[in-house]
Structure 1
Amino acid sequence: MCKSIFKLVSINIFFTLFFASVANAQNIKGKVISNGESLSYATVTLVGTSHGVMTDDKGEFIFDQLKEGNYTVKAELVGFKPMTKKVNVKNQQSVQMSFDLQEDATLDEIVISGTLKPVLKSEAVVPVEIYTPAFFEKNPTASLFDAVQMINGVQPQLNCNVCNTGDIHINGMEGPYTMILIDGMPIVSSLSTVYGLFGIPTSLIERVEVVKGPASSLYGTEAMGGIINVITKDPEHAAKLSVDAFSTTWLENNIDLGASYKLGKHVKGLFGGNYFKYGQRKDKNGDGFTDVTLQDRISMFNKFSLKRKEDRVASLALRYVYEDRWGGQTDWKRKEHRGGEEVYAESIFTNRFEAIGMYQLPTTENIYTQFSYIYHKQNSFYGPESYNAKQQVAFAQAYWDKNIGNHSMLLGASFKYTYYDDNTRATGIYDENGLVKNQPQETPIPGIFIQDEWKLSDQHKLLLGYRFDYDQKHKGIHSPRIGYKYTPTANQALRASFGTGFRVVNVFTEDHRALTGAREVVFAEKLDPEKSYNANLNYTIKVPSDFGVFNFDVNGFYTYFTNKIDADTDTDQTKIIYANLDGHAISRGLSLNVDVTFDIPLKLMAGATYMDVFRKEDGEREQIYHSPKWSGNFIASYNFGNGFTADLTSDWKGPMRLPRVENDYRPEYSPWTVIANVQVTKKFNNGIQIYGGVKNLFNTLPKEDTIARWWDPFGEPGNGVAPPAGRNDVIFEPNDYSYTPLQGIRGFLGVRYNIF
Structure 2
Amino acid sequence: MKFSLILIFLFSINLSAQNSFTISGKVTTEGLPMPYANVYLKGTDKGAVTDENGNYIIKNIPEGNYTVVASFTGFKAQAKTVTVNTNININFNLEETETLDEVVISGTLKPVSRLESPVPVEVYTTTFLKQNPTPSIFEALQNVNGVRPQINCNVCNTGDIHINGLEGPYTLVLIDGMPIVSGLSTVYGLSGIPNALIEQIEIVKGPASSLYGSEAVGGLINIITKLPENTSKFAADGFITSWGEANIDLGFKAALGSKTDVLTGVNYFNYSNPIDNNHDNFTDVTLQDRVSVFQKWSFKRAENRQFSVAGRYFYEDRWGGEMQWTPEYRGGDDIYGESIYTSRFEVIGNYQLPFKEKVNFQFSYSDHDQNSVYGNTPYLAQQRIGFGQFIWDKSVNNHDLLFGTAVRYNYYNDNTTATETADEVAIPSLFIQDEIALNSKHHVLLGARYDYDKRHGNIFTPRLAYRFKPTEEDIIRINAGTGFRVVNLFTEEHAALTGARDVIIEEELKPEESYNVNINYLKKIYTTNGMMFTLDASAWYTYFTNQIVPDYETNLNQIIYDNLDGHAISQGVSLNLDAVFAQGIKANIGATYQDVSQHENGEKNRQLLTERFSGNWGVTYKHYPTNLTFDYTGSIYGSMLLPTLGELDPRSDASPIWSLQNIQVTYDGLKNMEFYGGVKNILNWTPEKNEPFLIARADDPFDEQVDFDNDGNVIPTPDNPYALTFDPSYVYAPNQGRRLFFGVRFNIN
When normalised by structure 2's length, the TM-score is 0.87
Is the Cα–Cα contact under 8 Å of residues 614 and 623 in structure 1 kept in the other structure?
yes
CA distance in 2 between partners of 1:744 and 1:664 (Å): 25
Match of 2:527 among 518, 540, 545: 545
CA distance in 2 between partners of 1:667 and 1:275 (Å): 38
Residue matched to 2:622:
639
CA distance in 1 between partners of 2:80 and 2:285 (Å): 56
CA distance in 1 between partners of 2:419 and 2:104 (Å): 40
For 2:446, what is the secondary structure of its paired residue?
strand
The alpha-carbon deviation at position 427 of structure 1 amounts to: 2.3
Match of 2:150 among 146, 150, 157: 157
Q: Aligned-residue CA RMSD in angstroms?
A: 2.7
Q: Is 1:730 the equivalent of 2:741?
A: no
For 1:443, what is the secondary structure of its paired residue?
strand
The alpha-carbon deviation at position 103 of structure 1 amounts to: 5.6
Is the Cα–Cα contact under 8 Å of residues 152 and 732 in structure 2 kept in the other structure?
no
CA distance in 1 between partners of 2:379 and 2:427 (Å): 26
Matches within 5 A, 1:379-394: 379-394=371-386
> Using a 3 Å threshold, how does the CA distance of structure 1 residues 726 and 574 change in structure 2: closer, same or farther?
closer
Match of 1:452 among 429, 434, 438: 434
Matches within 5 A, 1:90-129: 101=94, 104=97, 106-129=99-122
Match of 1:600 among 579, 583, 593: 583
Residue matched to 1:29:
none
Residue matched to 1:170:
163
For 1:131, what is the secondary structure of its paired residue?
strand
Q: Is 1:750 the equivalent of 2:743?
A: yes
Matches within 5 A, 1:1-12: none
Residue matched to 2:406:
414
CA distance in 1 between partners of 2:282 and 2:38 (Å): 50
The alpha-carbon deviation at position 81 of structure 1 amounts to: 4.0
Match of 2:541 among 548, 558, 562: 558
Runs of 4+ in 1 over 3 A off after TM superposition: 33-39, 59-62, 74-87, 95-103, 722-728
> Using a 3 Å threshold, how does the CA distance of structure 1 residues 725 and 598 change in structure 2: closer, same or farther?
farther
> Using a 3 Å threshold, how does the CA distance of structure 1 residues 454 and 38 change in structure 2: closer, same or farther?
farther
CA distance in 2 between partners of 1:426 and 1:197 (Å): 26
CA distance in 2 between partners of 1:750 and 1:484 (Å): 45
Deviations 1:395-444 (A, max 9, x none): 0000100010001000010000011111112321xxxxxxxxxx211110
**1:731 is matched by which residue type in structure 2?**
T
Residue matched to 2:55:
none
Is the Cα–Cα contact under 8 Å of residues 650 and 722 in structure 2 kept in the other structure?
no
Matches within 5 A, 1:291-302: 291-302=284-295
The alpha-carbon deviation at position 739 of structure 1 amounts to: 2.0
The alpha-carbon deviation at position 684 of structure 1 amounts to: 2.3
Deviations 1:550-581 (A, max 9, x none): 11000101110111001111100111101111
Q: Percent identity?
A: 51
Is the Cα–Cα contact under 8 Å of residues 38 and 685 in structure 1 kept in the other structure?
no
For 1:236, what is the secondary structure of its paired residue?
helix
**2:462 is matched by which residue type in structure 1?**
P
Q: Is 1:660 the equivalent of 2:644?
A: yes
CA distance in 2 between partners of 1:733 and 1:470 (Å): 39
CA distance in 1 between partners of 2:551 and 2:644 (Å): 11
CA distance in 2 between partners of 1:697 and 1:669 (Å): 24
Matches within 5 A, 1:209-220: 209-220=202-213
Q: Is 1:400 the equivalent of 2:400?
A: no
Residue matched to 2:415:
423
Is the Cα–Cα contact under 8 Å of residues 399 and 410 in structure 1 kept in the other structure?
yes
Residue matched to 2:342:
350
Residue matched to 1:699:
684
Q: What is the aligned residue count?
A: 677
**1:189 is matched by which residue type in structure 2?**
S
The alpha-carbon deviation at position 222 of structure 1 amounts to: 1.3
The alpha-carbon deviation at position 718 of structure 1 amounts to: 9.8
Is the Cα–Cα contact under 8 Å of residues 72 and 584 in structure 2 kept in the other structure?
no
Matches within 5 A, 1:224-373: 224-335=217-328, 337-373=329-365
Residue matched to 1:582:
565
> Using a 3 Å threshold, how does the CA distance of structure 1 residues 82 and 147 change in structure 2: closer, same or farther?
closer
Is the Cα–Cα contact under 8 Å of residues 67 and 80 in structure 2 kept in the other structure?
no
Deviations 1:437-488 (A, max 9, x none): xx21111000000000000111100000000000001011111000000001
The alpha-carbon deviation at position 519 of structure 1 amounts to: 0.8
CA distance in 2 between partners of 1:141 and 1:706 (Å): 25
The alpha-carbon deviation at position 100 of structure 1 amounts to: 7.6
**1:598 is matched by which residue type in structure 2?**
F
Deviations 1:316-359 (A, max 9, x none): 00000000000000001111x11111111100000000000000
CA distance in 2 between partners of 1:595 and 1:639 (Å): 16
Deviations 1:241-295 (A, max 9, x none): 0000000000100000000111111000110000000011100000110000000
Is the Cα–Cα contact under 8 Å of residues 38 and 583 in structure 2 kept in the other structure?
no
The alpha-carbon deviation at position 127 of structure 1 amounts to: 0.2
CA distance in 1 between partners of 2:39 and 2:80 (Å): 18
Match of 2:602 among 597, 619, 634: 619
Is the Cα–Cα contact under 8 Å of residues 72 and 582 in structure 2 kept in the other structure?
no
> Using a 3 Å threshold, how does the CA distance of structure 1 residues 639 and 383 change in structure 2: closer, same or farther?
same
> Using a 3 Å threshold, how does the CA distance of structure 1 residues 78 and 545 change in structure 2: closer, same or farther?
closer
CA distance in 1 between partners of 2:280 and 2:509 (Å): 37
Deviations 1:158-210 (A, max 9, x none): 01110000000000000000000011111102111000011111011000001
Is the Cα–Cα contact under 8 Å of residues 253 and 263 in structure 2 kept in the other structure?
yes
For 2:418, what is the secondary structure of its paired residue?
helix
For 2:495, what is the secondary structure of its paired residue?
helix
For 1:193, what is the secondary structure of its paired residue?
helix
Q: Is 1:375 the equivalent of 2:360?
A: no
170-179 vs 513-522, which deviates more? 513-522
Is the Cα–Cα contact under 8 Å of residues 368 and 382 in structure 2 kept in the other structure?
yes
389-398 vs 702-711, which deviates more? 702-711
CA distance in 2 between partners of 1:359 and 1:587 (Å): 39
The alpha-carbon deviation at position 86 of structure 1 amounts to: 14
Is the Cα–Cα contact under 8 Å of residues 505 and 562 in structure 2 kept in the other structure?
yes
Is the Cα–Cα contact under 8 Å of residues 480 and 518 in structure 2 kept in the other structure?
yes
The alpha-carbon deviation at position 36 of structure 1 amounts to: 3.6
Is the Cα–Cα contact under 8 Å of residues 73 and 580 in structure 2 kept in the other structure?
no
Structure 2, unpaired ranges of 5+: 1-36, 44-64, 708-715
Is the Cα–Cα contact under 8 Å of residues 174 and 220 in structure 2 kept in the other structure?
yes
Match of 1:505 among 467, 487, 497: 487
Residue matched to 2:671:
686
CA distance in 2 between partners of 1:717 and 1:276 (Å): 38
CA distance in 2 between partners of 1:348 and 1:117 (Å): 38
Matches within 5 A, 1:64-83: 80-81=75-76
CA distance in 1 between partners of 2:42 and 2:203 (Å): 31
Deviations 1:379-406 (A, max 9, x none): 0000000000111111000010001000
**1:593 is matched by which residue type in structure 2?**
N
**1:689 is matched by which residue type in structure 2?**
E
Is the Cα–Cα contact under 8 Å of residues 34 and 101 in structure 1 kept in the other structure?
no
**1:254 is matched by which residue type in structure 2?**
N
**2:615 is matched by which residue type in structure 1?**
G
CA distance in 1 between partners of 2:371 and 2:377 (Å): 11
For 1:145, what is the secondary structure of its paired residue?
helix
Is the Cα–Cα contact under 8 Å of residues 262 and 297 in structure 2 kept in the other structure?
yes
Is the Cα–Cα contact under 8 Å of residues 254 and 274 in structure 1 kept in the other structure?
yes
For 1:625, what is the secondary structure of its paired residue?
coil
**2:362 is matched by which residue type in structure 1?**
Q
